[in-house]
């Protein structure tokens, strides 16, 4: 009789596999209000590691962390017409508080451009105050009609950066720096996801921006996931909030601004990029637990794994010691497999006698007996090799499932078949983009022929990257 799989196979039902993995790997649960989620400790540990890596990069870019209120006066959003129109369907509005109807309704933060600009207009007086570079780690609420844990939830966690600059060029260059040196560096080198950097079309641009830069990743089912965005806001919000500065020669000028953000959606991207039918596979550079050292049975094994765990921690590895010999070993091994810990070190009585340990690698698969005393020197290379393998697998998937096409119909067919299409923007255009949207297919971004980010929507040789998306 065939053994019942722990997870629904990806090939059978990818959405069900995704939900199974979140449940079985103890990443999250649905919250009591539709569209909300409870992030469990192991899932939150992934987010904490993302925060740690991202926060360091954001601070290296010169930004400082701050915090702004969750509640925003509704009138703030109406000051920038395109912005309020873009967010209106997703707003959660509070009309009563303290048992009374409020004089003015307040919006539960969907994003913070408006409230931050209200304070920027107070803080910026002269060119000496620029650039002003602020980031906040917070929660936001966008009323989601089709919720999905980590990917689309009514409340989610994120970071949002907001900056003010003296010139268009300075703002443009900073938005591009965040896009490339903060977001892409983190996603490629830590998450191990081969994202494509591009420019959003006017149809897909952030509400109130003059340009949106995006990072798109291909998931295991061939759909695209927007992993993060960096926006040039021009002077749109500066005009609405009268955010001006005194130049060195005594003139009053509007500031030029950016905003940029990533969220817990990246956890969903991690699952769908690297997960397999046995569970999650966590990139070693991200993993809160890089190595789990497991005692198979017996008190001597317990003593040895505790000793080895301490040795590996002292060598700089992130280690968890699993000495729960009162719980069946097979069950524990399956649990760690589901959670995607990169390496398991298993030690039992026979290993103690031989002076060896069983090295089990989650990412490429396979196991081998190795001298226990060699692990301290061996594991850093193993982890780096497995990190590189995940990125290579992500890149191969994207390249093998991306097709060059020349018509709208071919682009739609490629997306329907579970892949991406590349089509010249001059051929597709806004009319073709609208036709694709009728079939739930979108232009994820515009890229130059050489893979760089085009400087304008209509730059010569610009190619549209087309796919179904989450």
Q: What's the pLDDT tens digit per position in 412-441?
A: 999 999 999 999 999 999 999 999 999 999
Partners of 285 in the beta sheet? none
In angstroms, rounded to a whole number, what is the distance separating the alpha carbons of residues 288 and 310?
A: 16
**Radius of gyration in angstroms for the set of CA atoms belonging to the chain, rounded to a whole number:** 25
Strands (E), 111-200: 132-141, 155-165, 196-199
Residue 5 confidence class, pLDDT cut points 50, 70, 90? confident
Question: Is residue 389 a contact partner of residue 372, using CB atoms and an 8 Å limit?
Answer: no
For the chain, give me the number of helices (H) and strands (E)? 15, 23
* Mean of pLDDT values over 388-394: 98
In angstroms, rounded to a whole number, what is the distance separating the alpha carbons of residues 38 and 28?
A: 5
* Mean of pLDDT values over 50-65: 98
In angstroms, rounded to a whole number, what is the distance separating the alpha carbons of residues 379 and 113?
A: 45
pLDDT score for 207: 87
In angstroms, rounded to a whole number, what is the distance separating the alpha carbons of residues 33 and 416?
A: 33
Residue 87 confidence class, pLDDT cut points 50, 70, 90? confident
Partners of 245 in the beta sheet? 253
Q: What's the pLDDT tens digit per position in 221-266?
A: 999 999 999 999 999 999 999 999 999 999 999 999 999 999 999 9
pLDDT score for 83: 67
Q: What's the pLDDT tens digit per position in 170-227?
A: 999 999 999 999 999 999 999 999 999 999 999 999 988 999 999 999 999 999 999 9
Asked, as a colleague might, if the bond just before 131 is cis with ω within 30 of 0, I would say: yes
Q: What residues contact residue 409 under an 8 Å CB cut-off, 6+ apart?
A: none
pLDDT score for 336: 98
Q: What's the pLDDT tens digit per position in 344-383?
A: 999 999 999 999 999 999 999 999 999 999 999 999 999 9
Residue 1 confidence class, pLDDT cut points 50, 70, 90? low
Copy the structure tokens of residue 117: 């600009």
In angstroms, rounded to a whole number, what is the distance separating the alpha carbons of residues 63 and 273?
A: 30
More confident residue, 86 or 328: 328
Copy the structure tokens of residue 231: 């926006």
Q: Does the model's pTM come out above 0.75?
A: yes
pLDDT score for 82: 73
Q: What's the pLDDT tens digit per position in 128-158?
A: 999 999 999 999 999 988 999 999 999 999 9
DSSP state of 469: B
Strands (E), 91-221: 93-97, 100-108, 132-141, 155-165, 196-199, 211-218
pLDDT score for 57: 98
Closest CA to 230 of 277, 163, 168: 163
Residue 78 has pLDDT above 60, yes or no: yes
DSSP state of 143: -
In angstroms, rounded to a whole number, what is the distance separating the alpha carbons of residues 430 and 10?
A: 35
Half-sphere exposure of 123 (CA within 13 A, CB side): 15
């Amino acid at each position: 009789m065939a053994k019942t799989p722990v997870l629904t196979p990806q090939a059978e039902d990818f959405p069900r596999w995704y939900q199974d993995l979140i449940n079985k790997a103890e990443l999250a649960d649905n919250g009591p209000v539709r569209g909300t989620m409870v992030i469990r400790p192991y899932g939150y540990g992934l987010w904490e590691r993302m925060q740690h890596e991202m926060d360091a990069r954001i601070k290296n870019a010169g930004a400082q962390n701050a915090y702004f209120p969750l509640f925003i006066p509704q009138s703030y959003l109406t000051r920038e017409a395109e912005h309020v129109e873009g967010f209106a369907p997703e707003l959660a509005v509070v009309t009563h508080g303290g048992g009374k109807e409020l004089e003015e309704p307040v919006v539960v933060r969907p994003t913070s451009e408006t409230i931050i600009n209200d304070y920027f207009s107070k803080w910026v007086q002269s060119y000496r105050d620029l650039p002003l570079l602020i980031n906040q780690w917070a929660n936001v609420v966008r009323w989601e009609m089709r919720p999905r844990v980590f990917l689309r939830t009514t409340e989610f966690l994120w970071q949002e950066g907001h900056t003010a600059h003296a010139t268009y060029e300075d703002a443009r260059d900073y938005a591009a720096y965040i896009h490339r040196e903060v977001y892409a560096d983190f996603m490629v080198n830590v998450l191990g996801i081969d994202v494509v950097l591009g420019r959003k079309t006017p149809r897909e641009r952030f509400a109130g921006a003059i340009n949106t830069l995006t990072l798109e990743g291909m998931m295991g089912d061939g759909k695209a996931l927007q992993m993060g965005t960096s926006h040039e806001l021009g002077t749109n919000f500066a005009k609405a909030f009268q955010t001006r500065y005194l130049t060195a020669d005594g003139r009053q000028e509007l500031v030029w601004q950016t905003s940029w953000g990533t969220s817990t959606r990246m956890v969903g991207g991690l699952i769908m990029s690297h997960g397999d039918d046995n569970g999650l596979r966590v990139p070693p550079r991200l993993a809160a637990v890089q190595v789990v050292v497991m005692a198979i049975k017996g008190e001597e094994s317990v003593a040895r794994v505790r000793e080895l765990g301490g040795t590996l921690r002292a060598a700089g590895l992130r280690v968890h010691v699993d000495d729960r010999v009162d719980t069946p070993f097979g069950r524990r091994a399956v649990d760690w497999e589901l959670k995607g810990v990169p390496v398991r070190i298993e030690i039992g009585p026979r290993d103690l006698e031989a002076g060896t340990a069983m090295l089990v690698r989650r990412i490429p698969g396979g196991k081998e007996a190795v001298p226990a005393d060699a692990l301290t020197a061996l594991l850093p290379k193993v982890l780096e090799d497995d990190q590189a393998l995940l990125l290579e697998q992500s890149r191969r998937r994207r390249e093998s499932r991306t097709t060059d096409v020349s018509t709208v119909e071919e682009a739609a067919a490629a997306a329907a078949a579970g892949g991406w299409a590349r089509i010249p923007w001059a051929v597709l255009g806004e009319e073709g983009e609208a036709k694709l949207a009728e079939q739930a297919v979108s232009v994820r971004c515009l890229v130059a022929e050489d893979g760089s980010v085009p400087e304008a929507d209509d730059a010569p040789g610009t190619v549209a990257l087309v796919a179904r998306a989450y």
